[in-house]
Amino acid sequence: MFFIRRIQILSIAFLVGGRPPPSFTSNPPPPISTSSPTTQLIAVAPNSLFLENIAVRSSGELLLTSVMSPTLLTLNPKTINGTFDAVHTFPNSTGITGITEYQPGVFALVASMLNTTTRRATPGSVVIWKVDFNSATPNVSALGGLPALSGANGLTSLPDLPDILLAADSAEGTVWQLDACSGTARLALSDLSMQPGVPAPGLGINGLHVKGSYLHFTNSVAGTLSRVKLSVSQNGFVVAAGAVEMLAKLQPAGQAPDDFALDGQGRAWVTVHPGAVSLLASGSEGSANASWSQAIVAGNAQGNDTGLIQPTSAAFGRGDSVEAQMLYVTTSAGQVVKVDTRG
C-alpha cells in the first residue's frame, strides 16, 4: 500500500518515445481491446499529502485516507481543484490505510500508529473503525482491534456476508477477519504468496478485493496479482477453498502493484509503482496460472509521468453510467487523477 522510496526500474527497453504503447506480457498475451484512456488531474491534496486509499460514496463523493494523517478526507470529484474536507480524525493513530463500504452508506477503515519508514504499525495500535453516513453527521465508532497486525494495509468485505471484514497484513503475509458485529478477530488466511519475502520495509499482500467467491490480492514485493477461492464455515470462519492461483506477474519486472479496482467484467485496474495504472484481464473466463494479459493504461513503467507519481489506489466513480466508468486514482504525491476507462 505505501512506498516512500522510488523503486528502481531495470527494464525500459520496450518504451520508445512519446506515450508508451500498451505493454503486454510476452507469454501468452490475449490482447485487451482498449485504447489509451484520457487522464485528468482533478486535485492535489494540500502539502501533497500522501494519499493511501480511496472509497466512493453513493453520492459520488470520494473518501480518501493517508498514511501520514489520522483524518479521513472527502473530495467532490466533479469540482476541479475542490477542497479536501475533514470527515473525522481518529484517536490514537497517525495514519489510515484501507477503507471499504461494507453496508450501504457504512464504511470501515483501518487506523493505526504507523511508522512510515519501516511501514509497520505499533503493536496493538491497529483498530478498525466504522463511519456511518446514514445519519445527519457521520456516526463514528470502533468495531474492534486487530492487535496482531503489524503491517496494516488493505481492507475489504464479503459481498454476501458484508459484516465479515478482511484486512491484509503486508508484513506477515496474512489476512485477518474481523466480525463487524461482535468485533471478534481471527487469522483467516496465511500463504507464501502473501509474504513480503524480505525484511521490513518490504510489503507483501497489499490491496485485496472479493469478486464472486474469489479473493483477489496484490503482492507488492512479488509484483503479482493472485486469487484464492474462499468459503465460509458454519461458524462464520473464512477459509481458503483451494490453492492460491497467480494470475499475472507485472512486466517489466521491478514494478510493484499496490491497490486495485475490479470492474464488472472481472478485470483488475491495478495501481503500480513507480508510476502506472495497468489493466489486467483473463483471456478466457476462469483462466489463471499467470495467463492474464496486462496493458499500461495510464502513466508509464519508468515512473517519470509527473501526472501520476506513485499511484496507490483506485476506485470507480458512482452516480450515473458515465461516472461509473471513471476510475479515480490516488497517488503518494497527493494527486487525485481521473482515468476515463471508456477508452
Ligand X SMILES: *[C@@H]1O[C@H](CO)[C@@H](O)[C@H](O)[C@H]1NC(C)=O
What residue ranges bind ligand X (CB under 6 A)?
12, 17, 80-81, 91-92, 115, 117-118, 135, 139, 141, 289, 302, 304
Give Cα 196 to chain centroid, integer Å. 16
Minimum distance between the CB of residue 209 and ligand X, rounded to whole angstroms? 22
- Ordered alpha helix ranges (H), 1-61: none
- Nearest approach in angstroms of CB 233 to ligand X is 25
Whether 95 and 112 have beta carbons less than 8 Å apart is answered as yes
- Residue 92 beta carbon to ligand X: minimum distance, rounded to whole angstroms: 4
Instruction: Name which of 21 and 237 has its Cβ closer to ligand X.
Output: 21
Report d(CA 274, CA 295) in Å as an integer. Answer: 15
DSSP 264-316: TTS-EEEEEETTEEEEEE-SSTT--TT--EEEEEEE-TT---TTSSSEEEEEE
Residues 6+ apart with CB under 8 A from 35: 343
Q: Cell digits for 76?
A: 467532490
Lateral strand order in the sheet of 268-273 = 256-262, 268-273, 276-281, 293-299
Closest distance between ligand X and the C-beta of residue 135, in Å? Answer: 4
Nearer to ligand X, 91 or 264 (CB): 91
Residue 94 beta carbon to ligand X: minimum distance, rounded to whole angstroms: 8
Q: Which is nearer to ligand X, 226 or 302 (CB)?
A: 302
* CB of 140 vs ligand X, minimal distance in Å: 8
Give the shortest CB-246-to-ligand X separation in angstroms.
Answer: 9
Q: Is 101 exposed, middle or buried (0-12, 13-18, 19+ CB in 10 A)?
A: buried
Would you say 58 or 117 has its CB closer to ligand X?
A: 117
Least distance from ligand X to the Cβ atom of residue 163, Å: 13
Q: How many residues in the chain?
A: 343
Between 3 and 238, name the residue whose CB sits nearer to ligand X.
Answer: 3
| Cβ-contact 95, 52 below 8 angstroms | yes
Shortest spacing between CB 156 and ligand X, in angstroms: 21
Q: Which is nearer to ligand X, 20 or 207 (CB)?
A: 20
Q: Output 28 or 343, the one with its CB closest to ligand X.
A: 28
Q: What gap in Å lies between CA 37 and CA 299, rounded to an integer? A: 11
48 vs 115, beta carbon nearer ligand X:
115
- What's the CA gap between 64 and 330, in Å, rounded? 8
Percent helix, strand and coil across the chain, each to the nearest 5? 5, 45, 50
Q: Which is nearer to ligand X, 93 or 100 (CB)?
A: 93
Q: What's phi and psi for 22, nearest 5 deg?
A: -55, 135
CA torsion sign for 195, 29, 241, 167 is positive
